[in-house]
Amino acid sequence: MNTPNNKRYRDMTECINAAFSSLLQNKELRDITVTDICEIAGIERSTFYAHYNDVAALANDYAAQIEKQVSEQPHKENDFSWIFEYIKEHPDFFKIYFKLGVSQVSSDYKTIFFRNGAYSVAKMWFEDGCVESSEQMGVIIKREYEKIFK
C-alpha cells in the first residue's frame, strides 16, 4: 500500500517537490498548475492528487518543510541574527520560500503578528540585497520582539 511512511510514497513526494521547486525558479505561484508539475515530474495527475489536494496544499506543505528546516538550525535564544545569516547562506532556498507567502498557522494573535512581521522584514531585506548585516537585522527583530512579548 502506498502510505506516507512508505519509501515509494516519500520518493514520489520528493519528485513532486523537486518539480515544484524547479517551476518556482521561473514562475510565480499563481501561475503554476497541477499539469505543469505533472509534466516536469513525469507523473500522472492521479499520482499528484494521491499526495496533495491542489497546488495550494503543495505550497503550504513545501513552506512548512522549509520552516521546519530553519527552526531546527542551532541558535541562541533571543538572538535573531542567525535567521538572517541562514537566509544569506541559502538564497535559492529563500527565493522560493518568499514566493510561497506567509503561513497563517498560529494559536494566538500575538504570535501570528510577530511571525508575519518578522517574515515581512526578512523578505524585504532579502529582496533589497541583504544590505544590512545579519547582526543589525537581528537587533531590529529583537527590539520589536521585546516590545511585543515583554
- Residue 1, domain member (yes or no): no
CATH number of the domain within which 35 lies: 1.10.10.60
* Residue showing cell 518556482: 24
Q: Are 81 and 137 found together in one domain?
A: yes
**Which of 15-19, 56-60, 106-110 shows the lowest per-residue confidence on average (mean pLDDT)?**
106-110
- Residue 102, domain member (yes or no): yes
pLDDT at 87: 92
Q: Are 39 and 89 found together in one domain?
A: no
- Give the model confidence (pLDDT) of 61-115 as tens digits: 888 888 888 888 888 877 889 989 999 999 988 888 888 876 556 567 877 777 7
Name the residue range of residue 16's domain: 7-62
- Residue 23, domain member (yes or no): yes
The stretch 119-143 carries a mean pLDDT of: 92
Q: 6: left (phi > 0), else alpha (psi -120 to 50), else beta? A: beta
% of the chain beyond a pLDDT of 90: 49
Tally the domains of the chain: 2
Q: Where are the alpha helices (DSSP H) in 4-108?
A: 7-26, 34-41, 45-51, 55-71, 81-89, 91-100
pLDDT at 13: 93
pLDDT at 103: 59
Is the separation of the CB atoms in 112 and 93 below 8 Å?
Answer: no
How far apart (Å, rounded) are the C-alpha atoms in residues 126 and 121?
A: 9
pLDDT at 4: 66
Q: Are 112 and 132 found together in one domain?
A: yes
Q: Are 84 and 118 found together in one domain?
A: yes
User: Cell triple for residue 100?
Assistant: 510561497
- Residue 68, domain member (yes or no): no
% of the chain beyond a pLDDT of 70: 93
